[in-house]
C-alpha cells in the first residue's frame, strides 16, 4: 500500500537558517504529492503541491521538487522566520485509485525557529 | 468564504460512553473526509463521502464507528462505545471535486480524550 516517511523532529533552527525536511514515499500508480502545514492552534492547510515528476511546488518561500527516480519530495526554505514554526506533513494522493482523492500522510515534522 | 466548521472543539468522555462529532463543509464542496490524528502521528483517513454516498470506509472500525452525511452537506461521526485508544483529534476536510490533486480544506478538529 501507499506510505510516506518523513524525518522526525523536532527540528530547531535559528532565524534565517536553511531548512530541509526530507520526505520519501511508496505508492502504486502516479501519485500527486503535497506538503501541509499546521501552525500552533490552527488547522491543517495546504502549503504546496506537485502533480507529476519533476514538477516543483512553491509557496511562501518554500519549495519541493517531485523526484520520481528517488521517490522523494523534500521541503526546503532558504531563510526561515520565527513565523515558520509549525508542524509540517508530507502527503500523497494516488490519482488513479478508483476510490478517489485519499491522502496518505507522513508522521509530521515539528519545526521550531528561534529568534 | 467560511471554512470547514467542526464542533465540539474538545470532548472528554469515559470509556464505553458514546460521542458524536459534527462537521459543516465549505459550501459547494461535494467531497467530505473524516480523519483521525493520534498524537504524534499524521492524519489517517476514516471515511470519505462524495455527496451523500460513501466512497471509501476501508479504515473505519465499523464495529464502533459510524458516519453519515444526510442531504450531502453536514456530516456526523459517532463512536459507540469509545475505547481508550480512540483518544485523538478528529479532523473533517472537504474538497470541491474528487480528483487526485484537489486541495482538501481542513477544519480545526475535535480533540477527544477517553478516560
**Which residues 18-57 of A are in CB contact (within 8 Å) with B?**
31-32, 36, 42-46, 49, 51
* pLDDT number for residue B98: 61
Residues of B with CB under 8 A from a CB of A: 3-4, 31, 33, 40-45, 48, 50, 55-56, 58, 91, 93, 95, 98-109
CA B60 to chain centre: 10
CA distance A99 to A79: 39
Q: Residue B1: pLDDT above 70?
A: no
Query: Average pLDDT of chain A?
Result: 91
Which residue in chain A is spatially nearest to B59 when comparing CA positions?
Answer: A102
Task: Report whether pLDDT(B2) > 70.
Answer: yes
Q: Which residue has the higher pLDDT, A88 or B103?
A: A88
As beta bridge partners, residue B53 has: B50
pLDDT at B101: 62
Minimal Cβ distance to A105: which of B40, B43, B108: B43
What is the per-residue pLDDT for B36? Answer: 97
pLDDT of residue B40: 87
Q: Determine whether the interchain pair B91/A106 forms a contact, defined as Cβ–Cβ distance below 8 Å.
A: no
What is the tens place of the pLDDT at every residue in B20-60? 999 999 998 989 999 999 998 999 999 999 888 898 899 99
Q: Is the dihedral of CA A64, A26, A88, A110 positive or negative?
A: negative
pLDDT of residue A97: 53
pLDDT tops 60 at residue A98:
no
How do strand B88-95 and strand B31-37 relate by DSSP bridges?
A: antiparallel
**CB pair distance less than 8 Å for B100 and A94:** yes
Residue recorded with cell 490519482: A95
Instruction: Give the separation between CA A17 and CA A113, rounded to whole angstroms.
Output: 9
Q: Kindly tell me if the per-residue pLDDT of B66 is higher than 80.
A: yes
Task: Please indicate whether, in this complex, the C-beta atoms of A100 and B91 are within 8 angstroms of each other.
Answer: no
The mean pLDDT value for A53-58 works out to 95
- How far apart (Å, rounded) are the C-alpha atoms in residues B33 and B49? 6
pLDDT per residue as tens digits for the range A68-78:
999 999 999 99
Cα within 13 Å of Cα(B21), Cβ side: 29
What are the pLDDT digits (tens) for A15-51?
Answer: 999 999 999 999 887 788 999 999 988 889 999 999 8
Choose from B40, B42, B50, B102 for mutation: most chain A CBs within 10 A. Answer: B42
Q: What pLDDT does residue B100 have?
A: 56
- β A11-14/A109-114 pair status: parallel
- Contact of A93 with chain B, judged by CB distance below 8 Å, is answered with yes
User: Which has more pLDDT, B102 or A3?
Assistant: A3
Q: Which three cell numbers stand for residue A57?
A: 511546488
pLDDT at residue B52 in the model: 84
**Cell numbers at residue A101, please?**
482523492
Choose the closest CB to A43 out of B98, B99, B108: B108
Amino acid at each position: 500500500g501507499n506510505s510516506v516517511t518523513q524525518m522526525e523532529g523536532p527540528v530547531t533552527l535559528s532565524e534565517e537558517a536553511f531548512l530541509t525536511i526530507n520526505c520519501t514515499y511508496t505508492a502504486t500508480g502516479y501519485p500527486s504529492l503535497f506538503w501541509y502545514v499546521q501552525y500552533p492552534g490552527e488547522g491543517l492547510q495546504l502549503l504546496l503541491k506537485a502533480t507529476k515528476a519533476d514538477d516543483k511546488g512553491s509557496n511562501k518561500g518554500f519549495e519541493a521538487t517531485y523526484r520520481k527516480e528517488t521517490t522523494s519530495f523534500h521541503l526546503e526554505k532558504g531563510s526561515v522566520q520565527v513565523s515558520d514554526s509549525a508542524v509540517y506533513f508530507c502527503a500523497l494522493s494516488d490519482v488513479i485509485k478508483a476510490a478517489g482523492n485519499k491522502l496518505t500522510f507522513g508522521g509530521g515534522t515539528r519545526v521550531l525557529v528561534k529568534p | 468564504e467560511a471554512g470547514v466548521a467542526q464542533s465540539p472543539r474538545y470532548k472528554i468522555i469515559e470509556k464505553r460512553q458514546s460521542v458524536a462529532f459534527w462537521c459543516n463543509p465549505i459550501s459547494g464542496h461535494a467531497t467530505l473526509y473524516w480523519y483521525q490524528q493520534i498524537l504524534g502521528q499524521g492524519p489517517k483517513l476514516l471515511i470519505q463521502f462524495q455527496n451523500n454516498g460513501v466512497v471509501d470506509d476501508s479504515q473505519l472500525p465499523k464495529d464502533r464507528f459510524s458516519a453519515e452525511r444526510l442531504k450531502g452537506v453536514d456530516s456526523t461521526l459517532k463512536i459507540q462505545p469509545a475505547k481508550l485508544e480512540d483518544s485523538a483529534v478528529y479532523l473533517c476536510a472537504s474538497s470541491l471535486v474528487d480528483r487526485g490533486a484537489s486541495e482538501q480544506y481542513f477544519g480545526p478538529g475535535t480533540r477527544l480524550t477517553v478516560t
